[in-house]
Amino acid sequence: MDFIDILKQFAARTEELKSNILTEEATKTSLVMPFFQQVFGYDIFNPNEFVPEFTADVGTKKGEKVDYCIMLDGSPVILIEVKWSGISLERHDSQLFRYFGTTTAKYGILTNGINYKFYTDLKEQNKMDLDPFLEINLSDIKDVIVPELKQFCRANFNIDQIFARASELKHSSDIRKYFLELLNEPSDDFVKFMLAHTYDGSRTQNVIEKFKPIVKSTLNNLISEMMNEKITTALKSDSASFTEQPSTVVNSSQDEDSENKVIMTEEKLSAFYLVKSILQIEGIDISRIRHQDFASYFVILVDNSTSNWICRLRLGNSELSRIKKSIALPSDDRKEIRYELNSLDDIYVHKDEIIASANELLQHCKKKQIPHSESA
């Protein structure tokens, strides 16, 4: 089983257990220790490798203990501080910060069994950074984080390689955070920088304030245009593939309305990619998300099984169709609940229901152990 599969399987287990975990001790035994054993591959019952209640004396304070310590060749390399799963980790890193400087450990992990924050000493040696270089939430796993997390597995662990990568991750995270802030609210300095290359007049404060909304809208529109170009390219590629492999269109024997001609349109493919983008942002495995076209509706589903439908879209069989657009989402008993769409953008209004529908189906398929080969 691949690391990503192990991780997601453990995340599903955590989701089932977390509501019944009421103490810090239960968090340790039910979530944290199994995580380091099953996901990272450490022998949690070997005191030469995984030490509970590791002593980390701080100044005049003796007998200070960190919850766990991972050892390598007899030396501490990772300190682990655990909090109860029912609380946020915000402002709970002070203990780990104190312990870090008293040992030779290069990494610190703060966790509540659901969220894991990874720290090191990028800014000042032997002094733990205030901000983590890596974070993961088992309730919302982002695929981009998985390779970074895999480095902490016992079989892959390399202190120097992780440290080199940690620096890149931290800088990347800071740049990303700063850029998102600029998109939301451009700073005076950033607007000045842009005006220096585009505006010949004096860059007074009044001018800066005037151009702030212009810079903001221009940047956001530019990003939207770039995304649309990528989607259009993907649509053309998918449309060509669809023409070459018409098996994704259900034939006349598969739908009661199939006596009418089924026409794949760019609008349907656009809707498909909109739904996929919504699911991908949530870390859902979009390789299992497919589409089928019936005469009466266009369906987006899991593993190409018509019973596993995420949503059904009624957009018409041609670009000129005047049929009222709608999206149907499943109720608790898998009946349709329809919502009218003024445009495809309205699909985003129902993103929470779409995500919930997909997650429910994926969990259902997992319980029934439906093989991925069905999605071929």
Q: Does some domain include residue 239?
A: no
What total number of domains does the chain contain? 3
Picking from 14-18, 241-245, 310-314, 340-344, which range would have the lowest pLDDT averaged per residue?
A: 241-245
Picking from 56-60, 84-88, 242-246, which range would have the lowest pLDDT averaged per residue?
A: 242-246
Please indicate, yes or no, whether residues 11 and 130 belong to a single structural domain of this protein: yes
Please indicate, yes or no, whether residues 72 and 208 belong to a single structural domain of this protein: no
Residue where a domain terminates, one of 173, 202, 219: 173
Q: Which residue has the higher pLDDT, 306 or 259?
A: 306
pLDDT in tens, 159-218: 888 988 888 888 887 887 888 888 888 899 999 898 988 888 888 999 999 888 888 888
Q: Which residue has the higher pLDDT, 40 or 343?
A: 40
Residue where a domain terminates, one of 231, 266, 297: 231
pLDDT at residue number 25? 94
Q: What is the 3-state secondary structure (H, E, C) of 114-143?
A: CEEEEECCCCECCECCCCCCEEEECCCCCH
Place of tokens 């659901």: 114
pLDDT at residue number 263? 75
Q: Which residue has the higher pLDDT, 64 or 113?
A: 113
pLDDT band, very low/low/confident/very high, at 11 (cuts 50, 70, 90): very high
Please indicate, yes or no, whether residues 226 and 130 belong to a single structural domain of this protein: no
Distance in angstroms (rounded) separating the CA atoms of residues 67 and 54: 6
Q: Does some domain include residue 310?
A: yes
Residue 47 has pLDDT above 80, yes or no: yes
Percent of the chain surpassing pLDDT 90: 33
Please indicate, yes or no, whether residues 319 and 273 belong to a single structural domain of this protein: yes
Picking from 145-159, 220-234, 247-261, 264-278, which range would have the lowest pLDDT averaged per residue?
A: 247-261
Which CATH number is 135's domain given?
3.90.1570.30
Instruction: Read off φ and ψ for residue 368, nearest 5 degrees.
Output: -85, -5
Please indicate, yes or no, whether residues 199 and 131 belong to a single structural domain of this protein: no
Q: Which amino acid is at 60?
A: T
pTM of the model: 0.55
Distance in angstroms (rounded) separating the CA atoms of residues 114 and 85: 7
pLDDT in tens, 88-103: 888 777 878 888 888 8
Please indicate, yes or no, whether residues 83 and 160 belong to a single structural domain of this protein: yes
Region 32-51: what's the mean pLDDT? Answer: 95
- Most confident among 28-42, 316-330, 354-368 (mean pLDDT): 28-42
pLDDT at residue number 261? 54
Please indicate, yes or no, whether residues 221 and 252 belong to a single structural domain of this protein: no
Residue where a domain terminates, one of 173, 199, 221: 173
Residue numbers of the domain that contains 157:
3-173
Q: How high does pLDDT run on average in the chain?
A: 82
Please indicate, yes or no, whether residues 258 and 217 belong to a single structural domain of this protein: no
Q: Does some domain include residue 352?
A: yes
Region 256-279: what's the mean pLDDT? Answer: 73
Sheet holding 65-72, edge to edge: 50-55, 65-72, 75-82, 107-111, 115-119, 134-137
Q: Does some domain include residue 74?
A: yes
pLDDT at residue number 61? 55
Please indicate, yes or no, whether residues 77 and 217 belong to a single structural domain of this protein: no
Q: Does some domain include residue 280?
A: yes
pLDDT band, very low/low/confident/very high, at 244 (cuts 50, 70, 90): very low
Q: What does the block give as tokens for 121? A: 């000493």
Please indicate, yes or no, whether residues 224 and 327 belong to a single structural domain of this protein: no
Residue 223 has pLDDT above 70, yes or no: yes
Residue 323 has pLDDT above 80, yes or no: no
Q: Does some domain include residue 32?
A: yes
Residue 50 has pLDDT above 90, yes or no: yes
Total number of residues shown for the chain = 376
Per-position b or e across 88-118, b if 16+ CB within 10 A of its CB? ebeeebebbbbbbbbbebbbbbbbbbbbbbb
Region 362-372: what's the mean pLDDT? Answer: 67
If one counts every other C-beta atom within 10 angstroms of the C-beta of residue 186, the result is 22
Q: Does some domain include residue 133?
A: yes
Region 104-124: what's the mean pLDDT? Answer: 93
Q: Residue 39, CB half-sphere, CA atoms under 13 Å: how many?
A: 25
pLDDT in tens, 125-139: 889 998 899 999 998
pLDDT at residue number 318? 46
Distance in angstroms (rounded) separating the CA atoms of residues 179 and 353: 30
Place of tokens 């008293």: 102
Please indicate, yes or no, whether residues 137 and 206 belong to a single structural domain of this protein: no
pLDDT band, very low/low/confident/very high, at 257 (cuts 50, 70, 90): very low
Q: Does some domain include residue 240?
A: no
Percent of the chain surpassing pLDDT 70: 84
Residue 83 has pLDDT above 90, yes or no: yes
Q: Where are the extended beta strands (E) located within the chain? A: 50-55, 65-72, 75-82, 107-111, 115-119, 134-137, 289-293, 298-302, 309-314, 326-330, 336-340
Distance in angstroms (rounded) separating the CA atoms of residues 54 and 302: 47
Please indicate, yes or no, whether residues 214 and 304 belong to a single structural domain of this protein: no
For 17, 35, 248, 328, the CA distances from 137, given in Å and listed in that order, are 15, 13, 35, 31
Contact 70, 56 (CB under 8 A): no
